[in-house]
């Protein structure tokens, strides 16, 4: 947290600078619109100028400002490209570290499981749908979160052309919802892997009695052969240095006439680091791939059959998660403190704003080792 003392003259100067930067966003300091920022601590202004988006999230966690509609505020900031104007001073260190170290190496791969996915199954049970799917729903015809997630799961199954008896590998299986859906609805035998101990506990119980095996395992340690591979919301944790290894692993495990569906958040710009605040507080060592990075990683290994972008659906999904989290807080606060509530609120609403601004995308990419004879039929 920023703790330096700021003289009265500098307070005004820093505030004026922020107000100038916000001029084209229609966000006002201490304004009356729901997306306006109401500052409670004057140190906020200097901190933001020094650390940009990292400070924006940290200062909210510390209670230095309030905003009724953080999602809409972030939407306006990103539409105006203010995150590209104010860069965190610490970003240079993050870039250097990413160049020197493989932050998503096998030895580090369980970090995000311990830091995020092991926070507590009750938290996720109260926030998510009945299948415990922690990724974007498909809202084309859905009216609620359960329907949107089932529509997404069924879309995935149809894109993969699942048939009874097929073997499916689920890389990043979460709490087992995708595996259960494929086993129950399509009669498949599913192997799921995750780096979260709490997810393994839940998924094994959730899929009990079905032809589903759940493992606590890094994807690079996998062996065997599968008719289909699916990976939903896991590629964001792979890291740019490992994209090629990830694709090589999938190619090694998939039968020659199989299909691989990759469901991932994506960015329009290639990067070797993640968003600073999210990387520090929510998803350690995470980053979003670009189209070029995905294509280069798959080059020579797969034929790209289909690329489906429904990023705006993530805005809707995140807002439903937030409403569920907010509604469950009276019970959840027995296990989590006020700082966690503010952190989680900022996480869900700022991500919703980023998808609303079309800064982040959501892709479902279908890949085949040799190309589908006669061509792949795209489904929506």
Residues designated catalytic: 351
Count the neighbouring beta carbons within 10 Å of the beta carbon of residue 169.
Answer: 25
CA 300: distance to chain centroid? 27
Instruction: Name the strand (E) or helix (H) holding 214.
Output: strand 212-216
Residue 265, helix vs strand vs coil: strand
Residue 170, helix vs strand vs coil: strand
Strands (E), 234-373: 254-267, 303-309, 360-368
- Residue 326: Cβ-neighbour burial (10 angstroms; 0-12, 13-18, 19+): middle
- Residue 231: Cβ-neighbour burial (10 angstroms; 0-12, 13-18, 19+): buried
Count the neighbouring beta carbons within 10 Å of the beta carbon of residue 197.
Answer: 14
Residue 217, helix vs strand vs coil: coil
Q: Please name every residue paired with 260 in a beta bridge, in sequence order, or none if there are none.
A: 229, 367
């Amino acid at each position: 947290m920023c703790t330096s003392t700021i003289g009265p003259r500098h307070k005004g100067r820093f505030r004026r600078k922020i107000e100038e930067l916000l001029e084209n966003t229609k966000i006002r300091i201490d304004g009356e619109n729901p997306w306006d920022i109401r500052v409670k601590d004057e140190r906020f202004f200097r901190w933001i100028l020094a650390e940009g988006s990292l400070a924006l999230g940290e200062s909210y966690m510390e209670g230095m400002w309030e905003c009724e509609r953080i999602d809409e505020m972030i939407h306006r900031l990103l539409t105006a490209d203010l995150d590209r104007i104010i860069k965190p001073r610490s970003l240079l260190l993050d870039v250097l570290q990413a160049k020197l170290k493989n932050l998503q190496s096998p030895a580090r791969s369980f970090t995000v499981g311990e830091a995020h996915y092991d926070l507590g199954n009750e938290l996720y049970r109260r926030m998510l749908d009945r299948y415990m799917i922690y990724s974007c729903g498909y809202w084309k015809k859905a009216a609620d979160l359960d329907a949107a997630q089932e529509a997404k799961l069924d879309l995935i199954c149809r894109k993969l052309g699942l048939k009874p008896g097929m073997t499916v590998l689920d890389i990043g299986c979460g709490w087992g919802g995708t595996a259960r859906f494929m086993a129950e609805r399509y009669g498949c035998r599913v192997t799921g892997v995750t780096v979260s101990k709490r997810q393994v506990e839940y998924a094994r119980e959730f899929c009990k009695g079905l032809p589903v095996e759940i493992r606590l395992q890094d994807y690079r340690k996998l062996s065997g052969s599968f008719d289909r591979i699916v990976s939903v919301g896991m590629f964001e944790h792979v890291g740019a240095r490992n994209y090629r290894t990830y694709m090589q692993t999938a190619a090694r495990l998939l039968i020659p006439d199989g299909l691989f569906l990759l469901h991932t958040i994506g960015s329009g710009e290639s990067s070797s680091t993640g968003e600073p605040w999210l990387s520090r507080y929510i998803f350690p060592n995470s980053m979003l791939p670009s189209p070029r990075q995905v294509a280069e990683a798959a080059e020579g290994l797969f034929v790209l059959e289909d690329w489906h972008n429904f990023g705006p659906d993530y805005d809707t999904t995140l807002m439903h998660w937030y409403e569920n989290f907010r509604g469950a807080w009276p019970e959840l606060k027995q296990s989590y403190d006020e700082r966690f509530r503010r952190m989680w609120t900022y996480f869900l609403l700022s991500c919703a704003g980023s998808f609303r601004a079309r800064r982040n995308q959501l892709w479902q990419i279908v890949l085949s080792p040799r190309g589908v004879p006669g061509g792949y039929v795209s489904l929506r």
